[in-house]
Amino acid sequence: MLLTELPANAVFERLTQRERLLADWGAHNVTLATANTYSYGRRRSTLRQYVEALTPQEEDALGLHTLYMFGDHAGSWDDLLSAYALPPFVSRETDEVSLSWGIGAPGSGVPFHIHGAGFSEVVHGRKRWLLFAPHRRPPFNPNASSLSWFRAWQAGEPALLAHGAPLDCTIEPGSALYFPADWWHATLNVGDCVFMSTFVNWRTPPADTELR
């Protein structure tokens, strides 16, 4: 479900402008993960080292060898994350909320994978989502890049065409995507991108009609 015409996340947007972010947080450590389906590779870096080394994703570079900043950065980042305005239907006061934020270069992203339900919002840039229902696991190489799958699909690779088209949407500032649990999805950053995923355990779930 795509939520549109959301209020701008103005404070968090200002705090995550490149120069402001590096001035305030550049020396802080981040954990980088490999941009493959299982994200089992890990490396520590400062935020400045990561951001200043960002380059567009090369199509033939394996996700297994591509380091990507995304995930749970709780703890020392709480002062920054507290400035993020949560999506509709989610409350810090009444729900158990986990924020997963990241920064990606053009063409970067994560190939198909599954996890729990949540919301995805872009603060800077745009992010493309490709989704399949849980029973429609797409053919993909878990160690290839998201970009390589996307280009093969665009080029009409027979195995991908035979499986059928994914749900395809692009989110940008002012919109957010609600993704259900266990849906296969791949992401692709369109330009430089700062993004946030919100995972929530609702103590009082919203009515079904509210999430339609």
Domain that holds residue 77: 2-211
pLDDT digits (tens, 9 = 90+) for 83-127: 999 888 888 888 788 888 899 999 999 999 998 889 999 999 999
Q: Where are the beta strands (DSSP E) in the chain?
A: 2-3, 29-34, 42-46, 67-68, 96-104, 118-132, 167-171, 176-179, 184-201
Domains held by the chain: number: 1
pLDDT digits (tens, 9 = 90+) for 196-212: 999 887 666 555 545 54
| % of residues, the chain, pLDDT over 90 | 50
CATH number, domain containing residue 66: 2.60.120.650
pLDDT digits (tens, 9 = 90+) for 9-41: 899 999 999 999 999 999 998 888 888 887 777
Give me the pLDDT at residue 9, please: 86
Instruction: Give the sheet arrangement for strand 67-68, strand by strand.
Output: 42-46, 29-34, 67-68
